[in-house]
Amino acid sequence: MLERTDQHTLSKAKRREANDYAVGLAFLGVIGIAMIAWIAAIAWVGWHLIEWLFF
């Protein structure tokens, strides 16, 4: 009985650990996409500013 409980607890812990990694990767993915969008917006504004000043 005790051995079965330990295996069950261990499997739940492994599932929780995998879920923690998934949440972390999803969070970093969202942050990465937001950062790329922010850099693209800065580049777009900079390009239009350069066009307005020099052309």
* DSSP assignment letter at 29: H
pLDDT for 22: 85
The reported pLDDT for the residue numbered 32 is 98
Pull the structure tokens for residue 31.
């942050």
**Tens of pLDDT, residues 1-55:** 445 555 666 566 566 666 778 888 999 999 999 999 999 999 999 999 999 999 8
Q: Where are the alpha helices (DSSP H) in the chain?
A: 2-54
SS3 label, residue 1:
coil
pLDDT of residue 6: 57
Q: What value, to the nearest 5°, has the Cα angle with vertex 39 and ends 33 and 42?
A: 140
Between CA 55 and CA 41 the distance in angstroms is 21
Is 0.85 surpassed by the pTM of this model? no
- Provide the residue type at 31 as one letter: I
Say what the pLDDT of residue 3 is: 55
